[in-house]
Amino acid sequence: MKFGKFEIYPVSDGCIYLDGGAVFGVVPKVLWQRILPPDEKNRVQLSLQCPLVVAKKYKILIDTGTGSKHNEKFCQMYRLEKKAPLLESLCRFGYQPKDIDIVINTHLHFDHAGGNTTINEKEEIVPTFPKATYFIQKGELEVALNPNERTKASYVAEDFLPIGGTKYLHLVDEDAVEVERGISLVKTGGHTRHHQCVKIESEGQTAFFLADLIPTAAHLNYPYITSYDLFPLETLESKKKIIKQAFEEHWLLIFQHDPKIRMGYLKKVDERFEIEEVKVY
């Protein structure tokens, strides 16, 4: 879709299934199961949206999904569905890995950074996008390299160690920084201490990629915060701030994990925020 001077393409890496209780945190199952019905293992379907933003100078991919390096046990555990994996999705819109100039990682959890790297014909793990510079929060990389007992299952070193050279890596150490004119990284914290979202501004319009700050439209409700969030009160404060500004300034909100709604604008219904969906492709 055209968005000001940019084009935004709904690239995807398929779907993942995670425990519904973890996805909805303190919210009782009797409420969340109406929104996302769980499977027989209590897992709910979450999309792996990785938008491609095409600017005049650069082609920018936001997050890379789970990738294709995982073994069968891992795929079954998370019920990965790859009907249209990342690279096929890119190809659908006419782009190849070599065309990507910038990869933005909102954070380094395996379902956001797994596609950063791939296995080549020599069985080596190498960057998937050979020309790209990967933009990562410096603090997020430090945490990923030194996980604790709670966080280590979320990080897979092979997703980010092969891009550790200066040729590929750009470490961000600011709360807000512009990657390209009109495309900014906004550090929100909450989910992880250094979680960042992406703000896209052009010709009087603003779009905001929410990543795991607000993973699905259901999570617009303030108490809906995942159990994966390490700093849930930070999530709450950031969520309130972003939702207020997005409503007042009519931002296009782009979801990463909602299996039905890719993007839309906020509206108020009985003092609650809902999404008026914008359908693309």
- 83: confidence class by pLDDT, cuts 50, 70, 90: confident
Residue 238 C-alpha from the chain's centroid: 16
At 93-123, the pLDDT tens digits run 999 999 999 999 999 999 999 999 999 989 9
62: nearest Cα among 21, 28, 98, 113: 113
102-104 and 12-19 as β-strands: parallel, antiparallel, unpaired? unpaired
Q: Could you tell me the end-to-end alpha-carbon distance of the chain, in angstroms, rounded to an integer?
A: 8
pLDDT of residue 160: 93
At 21-71, the pLDDT tens digits run 999 999 999 999 999 999 999 999 999 999 999 998 999 999 999 999 989
For 231, the 3-state DSSP assignment is coil
Return the bridge partners of 18, or none. 44
Measured CA angle at 22 (ends 76, 215), to 5 deg: 90
Q: Other CB atoms closer than 10 Å to residue 205's CB: what's the count?
A: 16
pTM over 0.75: yes
pLDDT of residue 281: 67
Q: How many domains does the chain have?
A: 1
Strand segments (E) across the chain? 2-3, 6-9, 12-19, 43-49, 52-54, 59-62, 102-104, 117-119, 125-127, 133-137, 169-172, 176-180, 183-187, 196-202, 205-209, 252-254, 263-269, 272-277
- Residue 185 sits in a domain whose CATH number is 3.60.15.10
Q: Which amino acid would we find at residue 21? A: G
For residues 131 and 225, what is the distance between their CA atoms, to the nearest angstrom?
36
Across 242-254, average pLDDT = 97
pLDDT of residue 44: 98
Residue 165 has pLDDT above 80, yes or no: no
For residues 275 and 18, what is the distance between their CA atoms, to the nearest angstrom?
23
Residue ranges making up the domain that contains 67: 2-277
- 164: confidence class by pLDDT, cuts 50, 70, 90: confident
Hey, CA dihedral for 96, 97, 98, 103, is it positive or negative? positive
pLDDT of residue 156: 95
Q: Other CB atoms closer than 10 Å to residue 172's CB: what's the count?
A: 21
Residue 72 has pLDDT above 70, yes or no: yes
